[in-house]
Structures are given as C-alpha cells and as structure tokens.
Amino acid sequence: MNAIGAVSSVSGISGVSGVSGTTSVSPISGASTLNGAGEVDGSASGTQAPGDSFLNSLSDAFGQLNSQLNAADSSMANFAAGGSADLHTVMLQMEEASMSLKATVDVRDKLIEAYQDIMRTQV
Amino acid sequence: MSVFDTIRIAASGLTAQRLRMDVAASNLANAQTTRTQNGPAGEPYQEQEVVFQAQQMGPMAAAQGVSAIGIVKSTRPDTRVYDPTNPDADKNGFVNYPNVDVSSQMTDMMGAARSYQINATAAQAAKQQALDAIDLGKA
C-alpha cells in the first residue's frame, strides 16, 4: 500500500510541468488520477507541501521493505539453524519480501524516469 | 485489504494442515502402543484429533484464517485383545490396545496432504496476483 502511495505522490512532481510548460511529464500526472480510486490517503492534496508528503511516503515504504527483508532474513536463519519455524512460513515470508522489493524497485524506476524526463527538457 | 493478508490466510491453512498431518502420523505410529510416558499403567495411547477455529487475519471480518485451538483425545473405547503372554496383560489375560482406527487415520492423512496442496495453490495464486499488479507499473 505504501508503495502505491509513493507512486501516487509522484503527482506532486507533475506540478513542475506548469513551470516548464512542457507536456513531457504528462504520463506521471496521468498516474495521479489513480488517486481517485480511494485507498490512498489525501496527502497529495494541495494543502501540504508536495515534497514533504512524497518524502514521507517514500521513507515509509523503504522502512516497511527493510523490516520485511529483515524478518525474512531472520526466519531463514532460524530455519537453517534447526529452529521450529515451518518451511512454508519461511518461504512465504521470503516471497512477501521479494514482492515488496520488486514493487519498490518499480517505483524507483518510475521516479528516475520522471527525473530524466524533466532533465531532458529543451531550454 | 493487503495482498499479504491473502498469503497469510493461506499460510495459516498450511500450518493447520501440517499439524493435522503430525497428529495423524502420531496416531498411526502409536496404533499398537500399550503404554504412555506419564499416564497410569495399563492405559494405552489414546487417538488424538485437532480442533480448528476460524480466526480473523486482516482488517476485514470476512477474511478469516484458521488456527488450531487444541488437540482432543478420542472417546472411542480401547480395543481389548486376549493375549496372556503380553507383559501388559491384566489379571484376566486381556491387553488394552489403543482406540486408533488405522484406516480412518490413513484417509485423514490423505485429506491433510490434499488440503495442504490446496492452501499452497491459494498462496501461489495470491502471489501471482501481486506480481501481475506490479507488472501494471512496467512500461
């Protein structure tokens, strides 16, 4: 959920398109309409500084990812050491962590793509 | 509801079926056991059965996993066999053998194995759903 929140918060960047006057960032502002689907909190609304909420949700997503990776790590170590953990619990925890990592990497790719789109703007 | 809730519900089913399998294996292993470790002398092993209970796993009441709340002993009477030479025979020459029904334990074990597969399939489907959702973000 936080990862999706991070994606929608990218819409804060789309405000830049007003400055540059180009339409190169329009795919991302299009993504901001996904906000209308609910679920995500209204932090992307204009009252808050956009950079602030964006950074918050990004660091939230990273924190959650890190704790999931750590949990998968420790349960795998516990299992390898002959602990009482079930094999399926360990495997599913690792899958959860790997899916979160995939989602986070995708969000990062989107961000870098957006940044590069803006940097390529003709002046 | 997060996609991880689905996976956790399936995982609770996997854990439950593992326990059911353990208990069935214990019953089969002790089908001829005439003594127990801490029980009174002359009392054989008692067939055991797991009791499951639905348990809410996520924020939604509809999403319920399963948890084992206990293991109960079967109340079926022991099998009495006349065998005077057995060291556990009573003064009339009868031995109390466990009340384990081997054929029903075998079918229970097959059921547990199949249910485990079903829950693993559910976890797999939930995982695939999440991966499909991630693919939506790809160009």
pLDDT, tens only, A42-88: 444 445 555 678 778 888 888 888 988 998 888 889 888 988 778 89
Q: What is the largest CA-CA distance in chain A?
A: 63
Q: Is the dihedral angle over the CA atoms A85, A86, A87, A93 positive or is it negative?
A: negative
**Which pLDDT tens digit goes with each residue over A8-51?**
443 433 333 334 443 333 444 434 444 444 444 444 444 555 56
Residue A97 distance to chain B (closest CA, Å): 10
**Which pLDDT tens digit goes with each residue over B93-129?**
999 999 999 999 999 999 999 999 999 999 999 999 9
Q: How far apart, in Å, are the Cα atoms of B53 and each of B5, B16, B122?
A: 18, 10, 19
Inform me whether the C-beta atom of residue A38 falls under 8 Å from chain B C-beta atoms.
Answer: no
Residue A112 distance to chain B (closest CA, Å): 13
The kind and range of the H/E element at B50 are strand B48-56
Per DSSP (E only), the strands in chain A are none
Q: How many helices (H) and strands (E) are present in chain B, helices listed first?
A: 2, 4
Task: Give B90's pLDDT tier (boundaries 50, 70, 90).
Answer: confident
Q: Which residues of B touch A88 (CB under 8 A)?
A: 11, 14-15, 18, 120, 123
Structure tokens at A42: 């209204």
What pLDDT shows up at residue B111? 96
**Which pLDDT tens digit goes with each residue over B46-86?**
999 999 999 988 777 788 999 999 999 998 898 899 999 98
The kind and range of the H/E element at A62 are helix A50-80
Inform me whether the C-beta atom of residue B120 falls under 8 Å from chain A C-beta atoms.
Answer: yes
**Which pLDDT tens digit goes with each residue over B12-43?**
999 999 999 999 999 999 999 988 888 777 78
Q: Is the pTM of this model over 0.80?
A: no
Contact A61, A3 (CB under 8 A): yes
In angstroms, the CA B17 to CA A50 distance is 49
Instruction: For residue A28, give the chain B residue with the closest CA.
Output: B137
What pLDDT shows up at residue A54? 77
Structure tokens at A112: 């870098």
Q: Which residues of A touch B127 (CB under 8 A)?
A: 95, 99
Query: Virtual CA dihedral for B122, B124, B128, B129, nearest 10 degrees?
Result: 20
In angstroms, the CA B38 to CA B67 distance is 28
Per the CB < 8 Å rule, is B134 touching A86? no
